[in-house]
């Protein structure tokens, strides 16, 4: 459920029990900014994963964003539906590899029009603060604008790490729209364990 500006008035708005609410910020860039390239730290590689197995992808998605930050969209999807997205030639998935294990996710979606969505970008807790994110966003922008697109866009929300929004702005994205999203709490529907994202309280 997306609440539009016409639905809102100033003040507080009740979120029903069993639901969670997030403020979503949409950002875009129409040309790659200068000097965005950054090298990956030693011991890390960014590997293209053509048509990755949905179970492998879900494990990485869970470790990167679901347990700490309440990412849930891809975990709610049927396996075949997710596999259809991941195998699409207009979807590019990359994994940050450390000691042979995937520890970061980068996903670009070129399926709609002359734009590219930076669908997902994130790191496991063990990889944060090492500079890998800067290298990954540089790769994302370079790969996106290697195709004839008019814009690269991304959205982040209050279910993400609080560093995500300023990170995207520093990378050259410009905020263009804000929404409020209300949805079933994924910890109460069985999508995520109840202990996920403990900073977001459960209200039954």
Q: Which two tokens stand for residue 193?
A: 């364990």
The answer to whether the CB of 46 falls within 8 A of the CB of 139 is: yes
Gyration radius (Cα) of the chain, Å: 17
pLDDT digits (tens, 9 = 90+) for 2-44: 655 566 788 998 999 999 999 999 999 999 998 788 899 999 9
Name the H helices within 24-97.
Answer: 54-61, 67-69, 79-86
What is the pLDDT at residue 5?
56
Residue 148 exposed, middle or buried by CB count within 10 Å (0-12, 13-18, 19+): exposed
What pLDDT tens digit does each residue of the chain (204 aa) get?
Answer: 665 556 678 899 899 999 999 999 999 999 999 878 889 999 999 999 999 999 999 999 999 999 999 999 999 999 999 999 999 999 999 999 999 999 999 999 999 999 999 999 999 999 999 999 999 999 999 999 999 999 999 999 999 999 999 999 999 999 999 999 999 999 999 999 999 999 999 999
With 0.85 as the threshold, say if the pTM is over it: yes
Specify the length of the chain in residues: 204
Q: Which domains does the chain have, with CATH numbers?
A: 2-8+19-184 (3.40.630.30)
Instruction: Please state the separation of Cα 40 from the chain's center in Å.
Output: 20
The answer to whether the CB of 43 falls within 8 A of the CB of 175 is: no
The answer to whether the CB of 105 falls within 8 A of the CB of 95 is: yes
């Amino acid at each position: 459920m997306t609440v539009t500006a016409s639905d809102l008035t100033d003040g507080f708005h009740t979120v029903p029990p069993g639901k969670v609410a997030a403020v979503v910020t949409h950002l875009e860039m129409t040309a790659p900014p200068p000097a965005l390239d950054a090298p990956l730290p030693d011991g890390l590689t960014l590997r293209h994963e053509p048509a990755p197995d949905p179970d492998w992808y879900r494990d990485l998605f869970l470790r990167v964003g679901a347990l700490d930050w309440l990412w849930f969209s891809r975990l709610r999807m049927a396996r075949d539906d997710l596999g259809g997205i991941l195998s699409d030639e207009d979807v590019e998935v990359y994994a940050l590899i450390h000691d042979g294990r995937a520890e970061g996710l980068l996903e670009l979606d070129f399926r709609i029009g002359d734009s590219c969505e930076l669908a997902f970008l994130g790191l496991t807790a063990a990889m944060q603060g090492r500079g890998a994110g800067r290298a990954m966003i540089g790769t994302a922008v370079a790969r996106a604008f290697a195709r004839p697109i008019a814009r690269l866009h991304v959205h982040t929300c209050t279910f993400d790490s609080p560093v995500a929004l300023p990170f995207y702005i520093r990378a050259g994205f410009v905020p263009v729209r804000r929404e409020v999203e209300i949805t079933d709490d994924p910890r109460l529907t069985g999508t995520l364990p109840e202990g996920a994202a403990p900073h977001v309280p459960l209200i039954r």
